[in-house]
Structure 1
Amino acid sequence: MHVTHDAAAGIAAEIGFDAFLAVDIRVGTIIEALPFPQARKPAYRLAIDFGPVIGIKRSSAQITEHYTLEDLAGRQVAAVVNFPPRQIGPMMSEVLTLGFPDADGKVVLVTPSKDVPNGGRLF
């Protein structure tokens, strides 16, 4: 099954609830945001605290259009924590930080509307 990032492409193929449960989406707090000039597309290097069970994980995120480095520390975000690590330039990205495209296709982060404990799982 091929899943596209193009919002205009329509709805992805129907899946069972077990497939949804296989994707482990957790909330964490960004504790460090750094420039990532080695990335092919403009991005930041993030360190995200997912609480005592999962710990701190690293992510490369293409979120430079809507966020400055100063905006990010302390912000809670949602991320997939059970994909295999992926090499992005010189860094290993351990989680996929989630976002939605704005009208121009630039990433807007998925964040809870109220503070929640780090490590909480999306359901």
Structure 2
Amino acid sequence: MTHLVHPPGAAAAAPIGFDDFLKVDIRIGTVVAAEIYAEARKPSLKLQIDFGPGVGVRKSCAQIAVNYAPDELLGRQVAAVVNFPPRQVGKAMSEVLTLGFPDQAGEVVLVMPAGPVPNGARLF
């Protein structure tokens, strides 16, 4: 899924209730396949991420090719929203939103745990 760009230093979003936060299902998964998405308008990769038995393997199109090569992501754990509806991204279908923050150049740096956690673990 395409990421939304919010400039560093932008004001915080409007407050939400804790129940609203709980509606967003953010999980950890392991990248099991990655390839360059050559047809994308911005430098992107197509990922397959294993979120474990409860969620399974899901696809993601992520604009991360400036900072990451496909082979360096294999076996790495990443955070993603797993309960958004699938979204058509060019000719590919993206089933989860892989999460990241913009670096100084505005390119995505992925959210990854500091140590290994079980696939499918939910952010709280």
Give the TM-score range, shorter chain: over 0.9
Structure 1 segments, 4+ long, off by >3 Å, are: none
Q: Helix, strand or coil for the counterpart of 1:54?
A: coil
For 1:55, the aligned partner's letter is: G
TM-score under structure 2 length normalisation: 0.94
Aligned positions, number: 121
Aligned to 1:12: 13
Give the CA deviation at 1:64: 1.0
Superposed CA offset, 1:67-97 (max 9, x none): 1111110000000000010000111100000
Aligned to 1:112: 113
Q: Helix, strand or coil for the counterpart of 1:115?
A: coil
Q: Distance in 1 between matches of 2:46 and 2:6?
A: 21
1:48 aligns with 2:43: no
1:36 aligns with 2:37: yes
Gap regions ≥5 residues in structure 2: none
Q: Helix, strand or coil for the counterpart of 1:79?
A: strand
Indicate conservation of the 8 Å contact 2:29/2:52, yes or no: yes
Q: Distance in 1 between matches of 2:60 and 2:70?
A: 14
Q: Distance in 2 between matches of 1:30 and 1:7?
A: 27
Q: How does 1:67-78 map to 2 (within 5 A)?
A: 67-78=68-79
Superposed CA offset, 1:30-87 (max 9, x none): 0000110111111000000000110000000111111111111000000000001000
For 1:114, the aligned partner's letter is: G
Q: Distance in 1 between matches of 2:57 and 2:111?
A: 18
Gap regions ≥5 residues in structure 1: none
Please report the RMSD computed on the Cα atoms of aligned residues, expressed in angstroms: 1.2
- State, as a whole percentage, how many aligned pairs show the same letter: 60
For 1:69, the aligned partner's letter is: P
Q: How does 1:53-64 map to 2 (within 5 A)?
A: 53-64=54-65
